[in-house]
Structure formats: structure tokens, C-alpha cells
Amino acid sequence: MDNNKKILLSVVLHEGANLLFFDSDSDDDDHNNEPKIYSFAEVIVPSMNSRQFQRHFRMDVNVFEVLLQKLHGMFMNDQQRVVCPGRPEISIEKGCMVVVWYLANMESIRSVANRFGISNSTCWMVLYKICNMLVQLSLQHRLIAWPSPNSLQVTCNSFQQHFGMRGVIGAIDGSHIRINAPKDHHTSYINRKGYHSVLLQAVCNADMLFTDVYTGYPGSVHDAALFKRSDLCNNISTGAAYVGEFYLLGDKAYPLQTVLMVPFKDTGRLSRQQKHFNVVLSKSRVVIENAFALLKGRFRRLKYIETVKLEYIVLLIMAATILHNLCILCKDEFRQLIDITVEIAEEREMNDVEIHNIAFRNNLAIAKRQEIMNSLAMILNN
């Protein structure tokens, strides 16, 4: 099994967990007396023009059509069809509308179910089925994939062209996804800001395309500890995720490594070259903040996930990151409907950086950072 499959499958639900989602204790169908809309997907959405569709679904209608085309063959498999006894089968078109709407908006599951004229339990089933299909789609089409050894130089060249820093193949950071208190071990999910969250660790390239995602750890875990425990760190050390002489960029929350460059610690006595290195690194690394801002600005469900079922939280986050990549690959960046500056400010407020205390000196990493700093200084002097 290749590295990307291992990374993605590590956060996908097993089929036996279906009933966890269809039996929702907070959204019982018996208490749902709100009127349902039985023509929203069938009549109202098809009547929307492209601008209306994008405003409501936060996705270009052409990207949605691409999504339908890619999922259609998979959906014809009997195991993937959404069939509830005594109820009409949910079409792939309607199923995708439910998922994208739920991820793009902050409506409760009950409200979404009413909007699409289905029960709460059916809504959970649709979310489960379609999100799992998205994960399988990503595996098949490498929607989230670590660069191959042959494409690393292309990734590096793109970073240098955008930001002027050589040797970079990605920027890494962690983001907190606000959740309700889980039923078990809820205190471990309280982060430094005092609210419950799970962590999303991601690496992106210069185009804000995610090349690695890892999620599900409690919000109390430090970014550096999460990286150490992640599949990415293990795969880099074993060579399953090839890095070569290239490197990632991280903020001061991460330890300095040969594969991960971080800023010089500012003690008030940094040299001109060290300050310049920090500035260039910061300007280059901001691409991951932009990626998180775009992700949460488009798929606002990631600002707060209402369910307490952790397996489902992970699946929703994965689905959103996959759709994020699909949108970027289809040139739908959605910037005209998102204030990136506001989103970044909100992201930084939610993800206060805790400085990592390095317990050892990595001499090879120190030498590599010094070499990069010197090369940047030469460019500065010229």
C-alpha cells in the first residue's frame, strides 16, 4: 500500500461504524416537527444561476458537475447507494448537494435534513456514504498526495517562483477545529484557548493545494508533538514520503530538523542575515495560513462541528480538505466571496502559537539553516 493510501485510510471509518452516525442522540427524528422542503434539490437548486449556486454552495457549479462525474460510477455500486427501507433512493446529485451544503454552511443537521426533504437519520447516512466516497475518490485520483520523487523539483520551483525561497516543497501548520465536548476524555480536547477542538495538521504547496493531511488528535496536543506522532513524520523517516535534500517550512512551534526549517529564535540579538531569513521564511510559510483560511472560509462547517462523534468529525474534515483540493485543481479559488485577511486573523486567534522548547541540538539542521540563510543574504546583498 503506498504512502498516500496509508495516510488517508488511517482516518477513514470502518464500515461497521455506520450505526454510530445513523443513530443521532441529539437529532432524533421523533422530535423533528419542522416542515420539510420536498422540492429544494429537485426544483429550486436546478433553477439557480451559476452565481446563486456558488453563493449558496460556496463552490462553482462547474466544479460540482466534475464532482458528480467522478463519483457517479462509484455511486452505482450497490454498497454505496443510499437506500432507506420504505423511502425513495437518494440520487448522487441530491447526495452531493446535501454534503456540500452541510460543509459550506453552519446549518444544523436537522435544518439540512428539512431543507432537502429527508429525515435526520437519512441525512447522516448520506453524509457518511458520500464523504467515504470522497476519501476513496482521493485515493484513486491522488487529490491529496505527497509529491512523487520526480515532481519534487517542480514543487520546489513553484515555491521559489512565488516566494523566492529555494528548496521548499511545502509549508506545514496545525489548525484547531472547534467541536462539542466529546463523551469520553473530554478534558484532553480542551486546547490552550479553553475550548474543545481536534487538530488538523496539513502541508500545502505554493498553490495552497494540500499534499498531506492528518487529523483527529485532541486539541491539547502541541503542534510539534502532533507532527512527531503523524504518519508524515514516520513516512519521512522511513523514506516512504521522499524528501531528499528539500525541506518543509514551519513556524516557531516546530523543532528545527533537516527536513523542517523554522525561524531563528528572536532573543533581541539576531543578526541582519538572521532577521532577513525569518522574514523570508514567514512570507513563504504564510501560504499554509492562506490555505486554512480558504478552507474554513469556503467550508464553514470547520469553524464548528456540532456532532460529538469523533469518527464522524474526522470524516467531515477529510471530506472538506479533499473538496478544497478539487476546487483548486479546477481553478475555483472562491476568493471573491471570502475576505482572506479576516479569515487569517480569525485563524491566528484560534491557533495561538506555543513556542517549542528544543531539548537537543540538531547540528545537521543548524548547518542547513545557516547555509540557506547565507544564500538568502547573498541575494539580499546583490
Residues 262-311 have pLDDT tens digits of 999 998 999 999 999 999 999 999 999 999 999 999 999 999 999 988 99
Residues 75-121 have pLDDT tens digits of 766 555 665 555 678 899 999 999 999 999 999 999 999 999 999 99
Q: Is the predicted pLDDT of residue 5 greater than 80, yes or no?
A: no
- Mean pLDDT over residues 221-230, rounded? 95
The answer to whether 247 and 259 are in contact (CB under 8 A) is yes
pLDDT band at 18 (very low <50, low <70, confident <90, very high): very low
Q: Is the predicted pLDDT of residue 355 greater than 80, yes or no?
A: no
C-alpha cell at 378: 547573498
Say which residue, 206 or 74, is predicted with more confidence.
Answer: 206
Residues 139-187 have pLDDT tens digits of 999 999 999 999 999 999 999 999 989 999 999 999 999 999 988 889 9
The whole-number pLDDT of residue 352 equals 61
The answer to whether 273 and 377 are in contact (CB under 8 A) is yes
pTM score: 0.88
CA 18 centroid distance within chain: 23
The whole-number pLDDT of residue 33 equals 54
**Closest to 276 in 3D by CA, of 189, 136, 379, 175:** 379
- Mean pLDDT over residues 36-51, rounded? 90
What is the percent of the chain where pLDDT is above 90? Answer: 71
Q: Is the predicted pLDDT of residue 35 greater than 70, yes or no?
A: no
Q: Is the predicted pLDDT of residue 40 greater than 50, yes or no?
A: yes
- Mean pLDDT over residues 248-274, rounded? 95
What is the percent of the chain where pLDDT is above 70? Answer: 84
CA 344 centroid distance within chain: 15
Q: Is the predicted pLDDT of residue 132 greater than 90, yes or no?
A: yes
The whole-number pLDDT of residue 340 equals 76
Q: Cα dist. 65→62, 90, 380 in Å? A: 5, 17, 47
The whole-number pLDDT of residue 81 equals 60
Numbers of helices and strands, H then E, in the chain: 14, 5
Domain regions of the chain by residue span: 45-75+88-141, 150-380
- The whole-chain average pLDDT of the chain stands at 86
Stretch (H or E) spanning 162: helix 152-163
- Tell me the one-letter amino acid at 91: S
The whole-number pLDDT of residue 380 equals 67
The whole-number pLDDT of residue 377 equals 76
The whole-number pLDDT of residue 344 equals 79
The answer to whether 252 and 261 are in contact (CB under 8 A) is no
The whole-number pLDDT of residue 86 equals 57
- Using alpha carbons only, what angle is made at residue 18 by residues 137 and 215, rounded to the nearest 5 degrees? 55
The whole-number pLDDT of residue 360 equals 58
The whole-number pLDDT of residue 23 equals 42
82 secondary structure, DSSP code = B
Q: Is the predicted pLDDT of residue 335 greater than 80, yes or no?
A: no
Q: Is the predicted pLDDT of residue 15 greater than 50, yes or no?
A: no
Window from 33-37, 343-347, 352-356 with minimum mean pLDDT: 352-356
pLDDT band at 14 (very low <50, low <70, confident <90, very high): very low
The whole-number pLDDT of residue 25 equals 40
Say which residue, 37 or 40, is predicted with more confidence.
Answer: 40
